[in-house]
Structure formats: C-alpha cells, structure tokens
C-alpha cells in the first residue's frame, strides 16, 4: 500500500487542520462527509488507492471539527462558510494552481461553496449530493442539530438513529459540530451557473439524503451524471465510487 502521511496546516483564522497525503502525481483534493474523516471516507474502502494507482496524489484534509483537525468551542471560529474558507487556505498552503477537487456529501457542499467563492479546480466531483442538499441545506442542518440535541436518547426506528450511532462511532465533538452546522447557508440554484468547470455528479442508486442528483446535474452548466450502488452511507464503501471518479478525472476534455 502506498504510504499515507499526515501533516498540519493553518486553516482560516489559524485553526490547525490535518492533511493526509497519499501517492504522487496530479493533485486531487478530497473532502469527506459530515461526521466522517479522510480515513473513513477515502482511505479505508480503497477510493484513494484507486486514484493513486491512476497517477494522482490524494490530498485529504480532515475538515474542521472532524478527525484529527481542531474542533474549537469558540463561536468566533465558525464564521459563515468557514469550511470553504478552509479549503481555500489548503489550496494556498499547497500552492496549487492546477488540481482537481472531489467531495462527498458535506465535502461536496464545501467544494461547491469554495468554487463559488473563487476556487478554480480543473474538474469537480460532487458525490452524495443533490440539488436540495445545496439549495435546501437548512432542512438538513436542522435534522443534524436535532440529532445532537437528542444524542443518547434516540432509539432504533427513529430516522435520526443511524446518524446518532455514526456520531458515536466517530466520537464526534458535538459542541464543535453544532457550531459548524450553524456556519452553513443555502446555495440558490441560479448561483450554480457560476460553477463552470466540468462536473461529475455521482450518487448511490438508493441515496436521496441530499435530494435529487439529477436536478443538481441539470442546474450545472457542464455536468455529467453517474450512479453507483448503495445508500448514502454505503456508497462510499463500494469500488465503483473510486472507479467513476478515476474515469471522470482521466477522461479526455
């Protein structure tokens, strides 16, 4: 297996954020999902290894309040769009000028917001994301805040149960996570016209957690759509995830 290394860089406002690297070659920044980490989303199930085998260097930060990155409890550490600001800080830290960007779920939302904020990857992958996950984020935010507020009391059969159990598994800092959720705002569908690079909208065939991937692809100027097996949680575990990303990033312009 290609060596995985970890270093730390200063995110927005100086927060110390973890960056995991694997491989050598064309840089691709990979942003993981909510309550997850780079290790779970990209490394554990082999997606990063597929990209490395295809000639990419995987640059995988743990988002603020996730994984090995800082999880401050000061509300001032969570200004509007702080994750997008952290992504811009990472690109600046690495000195990237020609790179690809890939996100899953919250990572997709962060990627889209970063591009609208001025980041210019060659190609963009939005996985585990639908139009409503961007345009109707408030509903998703309120769902997760409810999970945090009822944490430890949610029983099987409750729609929030799976999220509670995943948070337990990942040992999520619930104070930091709640503050982070409050830093995110909706993205108007018409604003997506500003995402002008080629985009792959990639979603599991049983994943509707963030709304319609088809409607997201239709709202983007230059998007193609791909479907892989799985729910929102399981789609990151299948080899088709990495295969579709590699195919898109290596296909002719």
Dist CA 87 CA 113 (whole Å) = 10
φ and ψ of 156, to 5 deg: -55, 140
Q: Averaged in consecutive runs of 10 residues, what is the pLDDT profile of the chain (253 residues)? A: 90 98 98 97 98 98 98 97 98 98 97 97 98 92 95 96 96 96 93 97 97 97 98 97 98 87
Domain 4-131+189-250, CATH: 3.40.50.1820
Residue 253 has a pLDDT of 75
Integer-rounded Cα Rg, in Å, for the chain is: 17
Beginning with the edge strand found earlier in the chain, give each strand of the sheet holding 223-228 in spatial order. 4-10, 16-22, 56-61, 26-31, 100-104, 124-127, 199-204, 223-228
pTM of the model: 0.97
Dist CA 200 CA 226 (whole Å) = 7
Tokens of 65: 């309040």
Query: What is each CA distance from 15 to 1, 9, 61, 74, in whole angstroms?
Result: 31, 8, 13, 11
Residue 1 has a pLDDT of 52
Dist CA 145 CA 199 (whole Å) = 30
Residue 138 has a pLDDT of 86
Dist CA 64 CA 42 (whole Å) = 17
């Amino acid at each position: 297996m290609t060596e995985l290394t970890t270093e730390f860089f200063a995110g927005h406002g100086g927060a110390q954020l973890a960056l995991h690297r694997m491989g050598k070659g064309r840089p691709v920044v990979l942003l993981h999902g909510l309550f997850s980490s780079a290790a779970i989303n990209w490394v554990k199930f082999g997606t990063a290894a597929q990209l490395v085998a295809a000639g990419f260097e995987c640059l995988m930060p743990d988002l603020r309040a996730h994984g090995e990155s800082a999880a401050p409890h000061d509300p001032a550490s969570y200004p509007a769009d702080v994750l997008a600001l952290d992504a811009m800080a990472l690109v600046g830290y690495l000195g990237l000028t020609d790179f690809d960007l890939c996100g899953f779920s919250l990572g997709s939302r962060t990627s889209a917001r970063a591009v609208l904020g001025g980041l210019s990857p060659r190609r963009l992958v939005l996985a585990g994301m639908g139009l409503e996950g961007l345009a109707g984020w408030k509903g998703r935010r309120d769902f997760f805040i409810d999970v945090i507020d009822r944490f430890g009391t949610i029983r099987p059969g409750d729609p929030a149960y799976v999220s509670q159990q995943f948070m337990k598994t990942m040992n999520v800092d619930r104070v930091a996570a709640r503050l982070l959720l409050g830093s995110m705002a909706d993205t108007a569908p018409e604003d997506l016209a500003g995402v002008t690079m080629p985009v792959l909208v990639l979603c599991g065939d049983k994943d509707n957690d963030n709304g319609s991937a088809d409607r997201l692809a239709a709202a983007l100027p230059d998007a193609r759509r791909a479907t892989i097996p799985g729910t929102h949680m399981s789609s990151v575990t299948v080899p088709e995830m990495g295969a579709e990303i590699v195919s898109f990033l290596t296909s002719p312009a």
